[in-house]
Amino acid sequence: MQEERHGFQAEVGRLLDIVAHSLYSDRSVFLRELVSNASDACDKLRYLAITRPELAAEDAQFRVVITPEAAAKTLTIADNGIGMNREELVANLGTIARSGTAAFLKEATGDTSKDISLIGQFGVGFYAAFMVAERVEVFSRRAGETQGWRWVSDGKGEFAVAAAEDVARGTRIVLHLREDAGEFLEPLRLKTIIARYSDHVSLPILLKTEGKEEKLNEAAALWMRPKSEITERQYAEFYRHVSHGFDEPRLTIHWRAEGKIDYTALLFVPRSRPLDLFNPDRKHRVKLYVRRVFITDDCADILPGYLRFLQGIVDSEDLPLSISREMLQHNPLLAKIRAALVKRSLSELAKLAEKEPESYADFWKDFGPVLKEGLYEDQEQRETLLKLARFRSTYGEGLVSLADYVGRMKPGQEAIYYLSGESVEAAARSPQLEGFAARGVEVLLLADPVDEFWIPNVGAYDAKPFKSATRGGAELDKIELSEEKKQAQEPQPAGTDALIAMLRLALQDAVKDVRASSRLDTSAVCLVADEGDMDIHLERLLKQHRQLDNASKRVLEVNPRHPLIAGLAKRLSQNGSAEEVTEAAWLLLDQARIVQGEPVADPVAFARRLDATLLKAIA
Ligand code: ADP
Ligand code: MG
């Protein structure tokens, strides 16, 4: 058959560009990637061979052989795993399948140094070969097929595929090393690299020199070894193997359960937040094994979505080896394992929170928004998750827990107050907070979209209801002002009630009501949602997502002690004109809207009123 030429997918082109600019200061990671792929390929065939033993029959001792050939300047990595046929070679080695990587590369800026540091968290997989090779040949034959294939590329935009004879089952990758990559021909150097990167790989890795093979690793599943015999470094390498990442684990959780159900789990919380954490296609990265045999990395039921940042493996002693991926759905044993994984992971996080609050706070900044999804998804863990939750608040810069908050509640305060906004900073600027500040009442500042969903669902913590600071009549009057404020507080000026009645009349249907506010201190007006109406921020969020057409009407709260409001009240009582109040009413409403970050209803009318008012002031 003729050689066929193909262009790489555009994203691969970009990736190869980044790789060529030497992605990693340490180029030896190419070996990690290739050995990792070889090990995955053997895992896949081992799984298929459970039901179709003939697939692996001709050569059932899975292994990876690494052969340096100094004269030819080649380094060969060969496995006897599942192999690839023509279509698979084209698809797998011509495109990027991993959703996160592909998405990232689509948006890559072209600023190579920046791209490099970001792409680092994905790993570049097979394409890392081009860091050290000027040409890469891949010979592969798929298990169960007779025809072998040769793929070749110099990593510059194109690759070619052709039929090849005498190809063994599995994949043999021949790297024609670059002039400056001669170090990867030295057996000693290779041994050191393999010891470092692949010690955890559970199949033998052999170095072949002068016809002799030498086994370089223990070839036993890392997770089955006693914890005391595993070094930090081995854990970290294993983490990078399962996560395809280049960072360190933030937290390593390794345990064996024996008794009703027997399994071993080795889970990691990553150090850096994966770019695709909120990508709906993102799968969690926990691989399922049964008695050391890899079954799948696509078992949606093994962990709930709110723990999707966890990576690692679970190895069950009890599930049948021949279990199909479909059978895993709704499997009662798996459900038990899942419950145990959840419980253990959360309790490890709680331990971290207690022992190392600072590193827990870092964790929370990256993964808190994901974990909070559990507050409405998982009734059973709700209390635990509420204890784990951290918030920004008006108390200060750091994060606070709900227990901290409750401990600081003021006499007469019955609710846990929160205020949501686009960002914590925006929320912190809200005028609605003034009355709380004047009473020393802490308010949680929320800025994650998920907050709008769990709060109504959860309702209360420690029997204290959550209450939006921008909704409902403020029971703030029940809480005493700080001493300083009390001293300065003047009685509500006479005429306030008449002014409010007048404002109501002027604004009519534009607002739900006009009320005197205890929520305000230095501002004249603000908007709030009526008790039972939707929170203002939530409503805006829903409108942005076109989930909501009609906005509910707001209550305009006025601060009776503000000079402007007091002045208007006085003017009115001294027979000021109704027209004057009407103009002022609309200006006040528009002002409240602007402060709230909402557009004014009629910008032209607003400008006209403002002009008129300014003119009067300079007259
Ligand atoms: P990843 O391993 O994250 O999927 P890679 O770039 O390392 O990404 O590899 C891309 C794909 O190529 C793999 O998913 C696999 O399907 C295929 N592949 C790579 N190496 C081998 C191999 N040695 N044997 C079989 N398939 C392989
Ligand atoms: Mg890979």
The answer for residues whose C-beta is within 8 angstroms of residue 43's C-beta and 6 or more apart is 81, 293, 294
**In the 8-state DSSP scheme, what is residue 50?**
H
Residues 57 and 60: their CA atoms lie apart, in Å, by 6
- Residue 410 amino acid letter: K
CA-nearest residue for atom 11, ligand 1, is: 92
Give me ligand 2 centre to Cα 232, in Å: 23
C-beta 92 within 6 A of ligand 1: yes
Sheet holding 513-516, edge to edge: 513-516, 555-558, 525-528
For residue 61, pLDDT over 70 is answered with yes
C-beta 41 within 6 A of ligand 1: yes
- Would you place residue 425 in the very low, low, confident or very high pLDDT band (cuts 50, 70, 90)? very high
Look at 76 and 421; give whichever has higher pLDDT: 76
Residues 418 and 393: their CA atoms lie apart, in Å, by 8
pTM above 0.85, yes or no: no
Model confidence pLDDT, tens digit, residues 223-255: 999 999 999 999 999 998 888 777 899 999 999
Looking at the CA of residue 97, tell me the nearest atom of ligand 1. Answer: 4
Residues 46 and 320: their CA atoms lie apart, in Å, by 14
What is the pLDDT at residue 108?
A: 65
Q: What is the mean pLDDT of residues 1-24?
A: 81
C-beta 244 within 6 A of ligand 1: yes
Model confidence pLDDT, tens digit, residues 177-197: 999 999 999 999 999 998 887
C-beta 39 within 6 A of ligand 1: no
Look at 121 and 272; give whichever has higher pLDDT: 272
- Would you place residue 58 in the very low, low, confident or very high pLDDT band (cuts 50, 70, 90)? confident
Task: Please provide the distance, in angstroms rounded to a whole number, between the alpha carbons at the two ends of the chain.
Answer: 93
- Would you place residue 302 in the very low, low, confident or very high pLDDT band (cuts 50, 70, 90)? very high
Model confidence pLDDT, tens digit, residues 526-582: 999 888 787 777 787 777 777 777 778 899 999 999 999 999 888 888 877 778 888
What is the pLDDT at residue 537?
A: 78
Give the percent of the chain with pLDDT over 70.
94
- Would you place residue 116 in the very low, low, confident or very high pLDDT band (cuts 50, 70, 90)? low
**In the 8-state DSSP scheme, what is residue 441?**
-
Q: Which two tokens stand for residue 416?
A: 């846990």
Model confidence pLDDT, tens digit, residues 438-490: 999 999 999 998 998 899 899 999 999 999 998 876 578 788 888 777 777 77
Instruction: With beta carbons less than 8 A apart as the criterion, state whether 506 and 586 touch.
Output: yes
For residue 168, pLDDT over 60 is answered with yes
Residues 308 and 310: their CA atoms lie apart, in Å, by 5
Q: Which two tokens stand for residue 147?
A: 């025809």
Positive or negative, the CA dihedral 180, 196, 240, 270 is negative
Mutate-to-test residue for ligand 1 from 92, 101, 104, 122, highest number of ligand atoms within 8 A of CB: 92
Look at 129 and 540; give whichever has higher pLDDT: 129
C-beta 43 within 6 A of ligand 1: no
CA-nearest of 383, 459, 368 to 418 is: 459
The answer for residues whose C-beta is within 8 angstroms of residue 506's C-beta and 6 or more apart is 578, 581, 582, 585, 586
> Quick one: which ligand is closest to 127's CA?
1
